[in-house]
Amino acid sequence: MTDINRYNQRGVSAQKEDVHKAVAKLDKGLFPNAFCKVYPDYWGNDPEFCNLMHADGAGTKSILAYLYWRETGDMSVWQGVAIDSIVMNIDDLLCVGATGPFTYSSTIGRNKHLIPGEVISALINGTQDYFNKLNEYGIDVRFMGGETADVGDVVRTVIVDGTMACRMERSKLVTTEKMQPGDVVVSFASYGQATYEDEYNSGMGSNGLTSARHEMLKKDYARLYPESVDPNLPDEVVYNGKYGLSDATHTPLNIGKMLLSPTRTYAPLVLKALDAHRNAIHGIIHCSGGGQSKCLHYLPSAMRVVKNNLLPIPPLFNMIQESAGTSWKEMYQVFNMGQRLEMFTDKETAVALVALAKEFNIEAQISGFVEAADKKEVVIDSPHGIFHYS
């Protein structure tokens, strides 16, 4: 069975082609190539300002948290899921230069028979605790409440989403319109332990978890926790890995905690980068869904992005690839592969950004360049082969 067939049979897609088709006719906002949709200033009606709103969530990472909690009783994993739903919003907004203040509303849907009030409490209070921590680094987010619904007929366990918004000056936007041949790409690591993190981060993020969960974990979990699986999935794509959640790894984390590493926010780093180099930063890409091919969708015109010096792949993604036998081309398209944020700029600014990242103990390096081309294309030149995406 090919990688593509496995993903499709699990009901997931790296590129979300059907979603892109569904929204193709919608208004693209003031700057169609911007990483987030930019609206006129409906709230203040000021032509020098704009409004931003973004919705995202932790995805199927909440199923992993459910499994780990049921197996170990460890409630801390739920705060991690709350962090994931926040970071997948705030880091997307950072990509258009937004620095806050932000507002946030959470949306939680649960099966009440399986997800008790203590889990909901951990999610909601974990959200506020994380906002308190972000505030220490100058990131102001106001928790506006949200919706918690008991929808057991719809949700088998729990889903945790959020919506974030802000108002900002149009002159401070980073819209990718400036991206051009001659730019270089700076990649920032998703793994390690940043100065503002409490423990080692595997780099997982909140994308590709359906694939990672089924490819790495043992079949036993399907029998023990049938509620964690879509009953319509064929057996051959369900929990066909070799690992248990508590199995040790060559990192400080066990298998479960590696997969559940809270998505790293780059907010403290990006705020300082924008403060010092905003005008020289031509594009910021959050390499979430679409992995290292993500920037393809935001190129303002025909050009080629060549990534020929990516950071080393951290242990987790090598383990996923080994366990699944997934092609390396697909790995680079599904997962961030150890670098979940990238900036496009000139060489001089790139050197300064790498140095700035090191102040936060985040590995970074110039990983590629932009060149003229007759079409939009991304080329990954890796130790595992050269891969083209267009």
151-198 residue pLDDT tens: 999 999 999 999 999 999 999 999 999 999 999 999 999 999 999 999
23's CB contacts (< 8 A; 6+ apart) are none
- Global confidence as pTM: 0.93
Residue 366, φ and ψ in degrees, nearest 5 = -70, 115
- In the chain the domains, ranked by start, together with CATH numbers, are 3-389 (3.90.650.10)
218-270 residue pLDDT tens: 999 999 999 999 999 999 999 999 999 999 999 999 999 999 999 999 999 99
83-134 residue pLDDT tens: 999 999 999 999 999 999 999 999 999 999 999 999 999 999 999 999 999 9
CA 326, CA 4: separation in Å to the nearest integer? 9
Handedness of CA 369, 285, 362, 273 (dihedral sign): positive
Cis ω on the peptide bond leading into residue 101 (within 30° of 0)?
Answer: yes
CA 125, CA 226: separation in Å to the nearest integer? 29
Smallest CA-to-CA distance from 33 within 172, 178, 171 is with 178
List the Cα angle 276/281/283 in 5-degree steps: 145
Q: Do 57 and 161 contact (CB within 8 A), yes or no?
A: yes
* Pairing, β 283-286 against β 141-150: unpaired
CA 167, CA 251: separation in Å to the nearest integer? 41
Split at pLDDT 50, 70, 90, the class of 5 is low
CA 206, CA 56: separation in Å to the nearest integer? 10
Taking each helix axis from N to C end, the angle separating 61-72 and 209-216, rounded to the nearest 10 degrees, works out to: 40
Paired residues of 146 in beta bridges: 106
Q: Do 362 and 203 contact (CB within 8 A), yes or no?
A: no
Strands annotated E in 222-376: 283-286, 303-307, 339-345, 364-372
